[in-house]
Amino acid sequence: MASAFQAVGQWQKALDCLNECLAINWGQTKVFGEIAMIFLRAGYQKEAFQYLSEMVGQNNQIFESILTGLKQIIRGEVKTNKELLLIRCSLLKALLSGEEVVDFCQQLTALNNLIKKSLKNNTIFKESELKGFYERTQDWVTSQEFGSFYPALPESFIRFLPPHTLDKFIHYSFRFGVGISLPETFVVSIPQGRVWLNKDESRMAIITPDNNLLGDLSPESPALSPNHPDKHPSRHSLLQRSKLPPVQSVSGTVAVLSGLLNDVYFHWLFDLLPRFYLLQLAGWHWDDIDWFVVNNQLPFQEESLAMLGVPAAKVIHHSGQVDLHLQADNLLVPSFPGTVAWMPRWACGFLRNTFLSSESVQSKPNKRIYIRRNLSSSRRLINEEEVITCLERLGFEAINLELLSMQEQANLFVQAEIVVAPMAVV
């Protein structure tokens, strides 16, 4: 739990969890180290010294293990945060005294100098710099013989049914021919994999331990048609950045469900929720997953996660105030149902089976519904009252969906014979 709070920058809650651990068992050396590093991040050197001193007093052998780790970092075998490493070296030197540790201090000093030199020359610790990309996750798994790939559902085809319209031309979305193919779905398990999601959730990336971006798991806004040339992974904005925010390490298996614009109802329904189904198809049970990267702050998010049986205590929520950048012992990532904003028929079937009651499915559609936008913050209909008056003569009922739960909405729509609504993105 403390790792999860650290991952999202909630330092006080992380400290509370760690202090509870110490209240249960004072002899947990690792906990003292974690508390010390939280104080370091916050700039409280004195408090960090106190906890590091306790850590050293409990386990003198920790010196050699830290030295070994520092050497591995210098050789490039292990990646870590360079600034925190410098502070750690300086603090350990200050804590040590006596002739028996002179050699250790000298080695730390040498390592410290190497780190400073590398910072100046920018020769190591390029954990945020990407080497390149793979268009398909399966290609990376095959080439590296690393990670586990679980095929889920085959490629699907969406057949277009052009709408009847009063306009002279139909919407450009229907100008792709008779239909469009959506890629096969899968789940991948990536040891030491990373996930990055920017503040406004318009860009994301899944990054392998060898610093490659996985193109079919790393979408960006705007959502274009499948295989659109402007959405080739070579054009991903992250490949143009030289640095990412510091990565937060999370222990255990972390499932990434978040995608783009997760607080938008449409994307939540069709891009995000069906990914839980792919996890189930791949044989994963919620008990086998330590953390879920998914938003749960809005009522419809909280309700749908509860209906899927996702424990709220296991959720890592993206605050939206800073970029999310996590690295997990095991990063578990289901593919998108199709591509972002393009959903296959099976995704709709999953939503129906999950959120509809059996009684409502059996009833014959007989309702005429008009969906209001008067409670929305934007794109409201100027003469909505006139429209409602006209529609009521034809047997329509005006509904504010914001006042209904997800299940109530689902039960309402399955009974609908006709639905009239103004089109809006948000």
Q: Clarify whether residues 314 and 207 are in a common domain.
A: yes
In this prediction, residue 425 carries a pLDDT of 57
Can you give the residue range of the structural domain that contains 32?
Answer: 2-121
* Other CB atoms within 10 Å distance of the CB of residue 335: 24
- Listed residues 72, 88, 121: the one ending a domain: 121
Q: Clarify whether residues 289 and 328 are in a common domain.
A: yes
In this prediction, residue 376 carries a pLDDT of 85
Domain membership of residue 127 (yes or no) is no
Q: Clarify whether residues 324 and 216 are in a common domain.
A: yes
Specify the number of domains making up the chain.
Answer: 3
Q: Clarify whether residues 164 and 69 are in a common domain.
A: no
Q: Clarify whether residues 141 and 67 are in a common domain.
A: no
Q: Clarify whether residues 217 and 327 are in a common domain.
A: yes
Domain membership of residue 33 (yes or no) is yes
* Other CB atoms within 10 Å distance of the CB of residue 89: 19
In this prediction, residue 31 carries a pLDDT of 74
Domain membership of residue 147 (yes or no) is yes
In this prediction, residue 279 carries a pLDDT of 97
Domain membership of residue 425 (yes or no) is no
Domain membership of residue 126 (yes or no) is no
Residue 388 burial by Cβ neighbours in a 10 Å radius (0-12, 13-18, 19+) = middle
Q: Clarify whether residues 115 and 149 are in a common domain.
A: no
In this prediction, residue 6 carries a pLDDT of 64
Dist CA 282 CA 275 (whole Å): 11
Q: Clarify whether residues 186 and 83 are in a common domain.
A: no
Burial 273-301 (b: 16+ CB within 10 A, else e): bbbbbbbebbebeeeebbbbbbbbeeebb
Dist CA 401 CA 394 (whole Å): 21
Domain membership of residue 426 (yes or no) is no
Token pair for 85:
């490493």
Dist CA 116 CA 83 (whole Å): 10
Which CATH number is 98's domain given?
1.25.40
Q: At what angle do helices 82-95 and 102-121 cross, to 10 degrees?
A: 160
pTM > 0.85: yes or no: no
Q: Clarify whether residues 114 and 205 are in a common domain.
A: no
Instruction: Kindly give the parts of the chain with pLDDT less than 70.
Output: 2, 4-11, 22, 26-29, 39-50, 52-128, 173, 176, 360-362, 424-426
What one-letter code names the amino acid at 160? F
Q: Helix (H) and strand (E) counts for the chain?
A: 15, 15
Q: What are phi and psi of 399, to 5 degrees?
A: -130, 135
- Listed residues 300, 329, 350: the one ending a domain: 350
Q: Clarify whether residues 153 and 281 are in a common domain.
A: yes
- Listed residues 304, 330, 350: the one ending a domain: 350
Please answer whether residues 186 and 150 qualify as being in contact, where contact means their C-beta atoms are separated by less than 8 angstroms.
Answer: yes
Q: Clarify whether residues 317 and 338 are in a common domain.
A: yes
Q: Clarify whether residues 344 and 389 are in a common domain.
A: no
